Chains A and B, each alone.
Chain A
Amino acid sequence: MKSKILLLLTSLASLLVLSGCGPAMVTKGTAFPKMYEEQPRSILILPPMNNSTDAQAKDYYMTTVEMPFALMGYYTFPTEMVSDIMKQEGVYDTEILYNMPLSKFKEYFGADTVLFTTINKWDVSYAVIASSLTVSISSKIVSTTTNEVLWRYTGTVVVDLSGGNSGGSLAGLLVKAIATAINTAAADYVKYAKVANARLIYTLPAGPYSPMYMKDQDIELVQQGKRH
């Protein structure tokens, strides 16, 4: 009896997850035409503004954010070196960094674009079976040449902490699920942050090192809410 209810609940949950693909669609080409016009090759990732209650969110974000953007085919400047150099230049404060003329980033690093991010929420909720990480983020990629916003994302992803990686055997997944449910070690959050970051940028047009470069204009995305 109990098992039937659980089965129902989990199938309902999966249905909910799957039905996320339902709403209004828009192609990448229509959503972000300037990415295809300007064809930037590199992204300089700045430290995020952290408005979440989790003081560690910034580090989780910074140590995992390079990867998904690089995997989308862009050259990403190494975040550690960039932030050290900015500090050497006397810029410690993210707010000051965010208000610098964009041409500075081109001048100093040779960056085509800059990525700005605000973390609004970074919450981990614990439960025996379904622990989850909720990340709410607004990001934008801005051209250092034209000062125009080429891509932006505002949204929330919920990462199921029992399924971080796509690889591994069925047995491996089962073990992982058990391990996660029983005890989620702090170290694992880096992995989940990686998953969250990867989900956040799925709307980004592919960059020059991707086999999909300039071939993904017709890929459909869920249309984001109205924005100004």
Chain B
Amino acid sequence: MVKNIILISAAAMTFVLSGCSSKEPLYNYGDYSQEYYNYKKNMSPETQLELQKAIEQAIEDADDGSSDRVAPGMYANLGYIYLKTGNTKMAKQNFIKEKTLYPEATHFMDRLIQKIDALEGDTDEK
């Protein structure tokens, strides 16, 4: 009985508190921050892969957010994981997607793409 009352009032409070944020958020992040945190705690190929999966899933489910748009930084983060695993082609593709969707990132993404091109230029010459 006592337990029930506590639970109901706790639930009521939660409802009251959440009343301010009932609108659907602008973007869908899925499990991104949880996996990002796990990765930061324990940087390994496994946690990196989990993070990659979370990002890919969040991108796939972008229409769960009210804007239907992929959240800022998602393509950039995905490209960065590709870069770290040596897939420069996919890295560049994602950096281009990031700046196409968010022109605010153009300067930063171009800088990264230039770096990749410079590195690849070096290996081509060999």
Contacts and interface: CB of A to CB of B under 8 A. Distances in A.
Interface of A: 2-3, 6-7, 10-11, 13-14, 17-18, 41-42, 59-60, 62-64, 66-67, 70-71, 73-78, 80-81, 108-110, 112, 129, 160, 162-163, 165-166, 170, 173-174, 177-178, 187, 190-191, 194, 198, 209-210
Contacts of B37: 59-60, 63-64, 190
A170 B15 CA distance: 9
A110 B5 contact: no
Contacts of A198: 21
Interface of A is mostly: helix
A177 B102 CA distance: 39
A197 to B, nearest CB: 10
A5 to B, nearest CB: 10
Contacts of A67: 29, 32-33, 71
Contact of A209 (B11, B67, B105): B67
Interface residues of B, number: 44
Contacts of B111: 108
B80 to A, nearest CB: 5
Contacts of B12: 14
A71 B76 contact: no
Interface string B34-52: 1011101100000000000
B26 A71 contact: yes
Given A63-B33, A209-B26, A77 B73 contact: yes
Given A10-B5, A70-B72, 13 more contacts: A2-B2, A7-B5, A10-B13, A14-B9, A62-B40, A70-B27, A80-B40, A110-B104, A110-B107, A163-B17, A165-B18, A177-B11, A187-B34
Contact of A177 (B14, B16, B32): B14
